Structure 1
């Protein structure tokens, strides 16, 4: 693991960190709502580097040590009615990602996104096709109305901050996450949360602006149909935050996409899912290299 670096992309400065041999093909990892680069766990990044990749993880705008913006997020009513006036869009976040790839991997990178990051990764492949060698969309949807949150999960987005934010997040992952989460997964959350908080330079409002961008997302289906890069769609069968039909619709839209549905996987990345994810990324990147 190398020291953190900073890259300016327009008015946004992105903090990023790399693993692996600089001569290897690059994988860029895009994380989900309000989560910093730390949530791409060190061990997962090392596992990918061990399979012959240069792994780059980064803080999205409004998270961690990247640029934090200002302006409103979204109200509870706006979330419930699916109405938002975002300060920025998923396309803006995709342009951040494309700008980072242009700097760290001018010949292109394999782009992997989870949840919000999946939408950003899709938009990056659409808007910057020359920079995306393959696409892996994890826990994502194409913006066409599929993959809607199950009603019983909506309170997860509306809860007031818990008295103990660490244990509150552990409980949240237990509610939204995969079957067979272990004590090790819970401890991962505690360690990662504390590490992320130690790196955080914002005031906590960035997640609201990112959520507004999600609510205002466009239907990407037609543009996904025009993609030519190899693609993998990985989705949990037990995901109730972005339900599995969102993954199926994504795979159906992208020509030649491989769909992997993981029994028992919810809206998280517990350690037991990592081997399936790593193998899928390797397999999809190999398809790109074979071209």
Structure 2
């Protein structure tokens, strides 16, 4: 039996963070450098797959994943009427670190989670041992030296322009098919593994008392948006991982992040779209993450 197979997740636990409960789960030894995984919009922690987390833990990392509010077993808000903004999602991350007794952690954020991670690194530098940004775009406005970033692909823009009926959130198959269709929409050149996506989406549905609440992430209160900041002010060692076939944030978005965050490194993920790294790229991602998260401050 290999080391990865021997790494089993701890039991899920609910922790109080301010006025909400956040469901979290860990892999590995608490004495190891902690990695906090921050997911994208609508994504429960299930999208950080067991096998991925176990491989990081087997490499000597204490891996923490969690359900963002309105996903999984974390606190949900009225469907279609969230009373919070991204500022609250930032506060949730800091509160989760506090609840777990972590003075700092290596943040790994994907898509919306990558945007949140940039803001956290700028505002709470002492809590961020390192920063890894996956499938995301600069959260800070660009200066005169930033080239205009390319828009989403024409095909994706056409799909967004068409009416997009939502799933029947009470029906498991309808919700699984919704997430499968989304994965196909945002995928790059790597074929979508339907069985894998169905397994993840089905597990997320089964763990979620209110699956429809996940769509609240698209309706966050603009009045509660975080204040502007500068990417040049981020001091955490930063690694940017970006798909070469991202239809939402073309590769130039990753290049801009790596160029504007001091000392940041950039690793292309060949063929990947706007998505969580699929298993075909885990070797590349983990080979980059492990040394990065062993940096000073861990």
Structure 2 distance, partners of 1:41, 1:31, is 11
For normalisation by structure 2, the TM-score amounts to 0.83
Alpha-carbon shift at residue 151 of structure 1 (Å): 4.1
Counterpart for residue 187 of structure 2: 177
Instruction: Count matched residues.
Output: 274
Q: Give the 3-state SS of the residue equivalent to 2:295 in structure 1.
A: helix
Q: Which residue of 1 aligns with 2:110?
A: 114
**CA distance in 2: counterparts of 1:95 and 1:254, whole angstroms:** 23
Q: Deviation per CA, 1:125-172, whole angstroms, max 9, x where unpaired? A: 122211110000100111338464334224359521357432343233
Asked if the contact 1:241–1:267 (Cα under 8 Å) also holds between the matched residues in 2, the reply is yes
Instruction: Tell me the residue number matched to 1:14.
Output: 22
Distance 2:133 2:150 in 1: 13
- Cα–Cα, structure 1 residues 166 and 69, in superposed 2: closer, same or farther, change >3 Å? closer
Deviation at 1:275, TM superposition (A): 1.5
Q: Where does 1:164-243 land on structure 2 (aligned, <5 Å)?
A: 164-181=174-191, 185-207=193-215, 209-213=216-220, 222=230, 224-243=231-250
Shift of 1:289: 5.0
SS of residue in 2 equivalent to 1:92: helix
Give the CA deviation at 1:203.
Answer: 4.9
Q: Write the deviation string for residues 70-122 of structure 1: whole angstroms up to 9, x where unpaired.
A: 3746xxxxxxxxxxxx7433222111111111222423110101111111111
Preserved contact between residue 102 and residue 108 of structure 1 (Cα < 8 Å) = no
**Aligned twin of 1:80:** none
Tell me by how many angstroms 1:245 deviates.
Answer: 2.3
| 1:180 CA displacement | 2.6
Q: Say if 1:178 and 1:270, in contact at 8 Å, map to a contact too.
A: no
Instruction: Find the partner of 1:159 among 158, 161, 164.
Output: 164
Give the structure 2 partner of residue 42 of structure 1.
50
> Any unmatched runs of 5+ in structure 1?
74-85
Root-mean-square deviation over aligned CA pairs? 2.5
Matches of 2:73 and 2:135 in 1, distance apart? 25
CA separation of 1:236/1:278 partners in 2, compared to 1, >3 Å: closer, same or farther? same
From 53, 69, 84, the equivalent of 2:77 is: 69
TM-score of the pair, normalised by structure 1: 0.85
> Contact between 1:235 and 1:244, CA under 8 Å: does it hold in 2?
yes
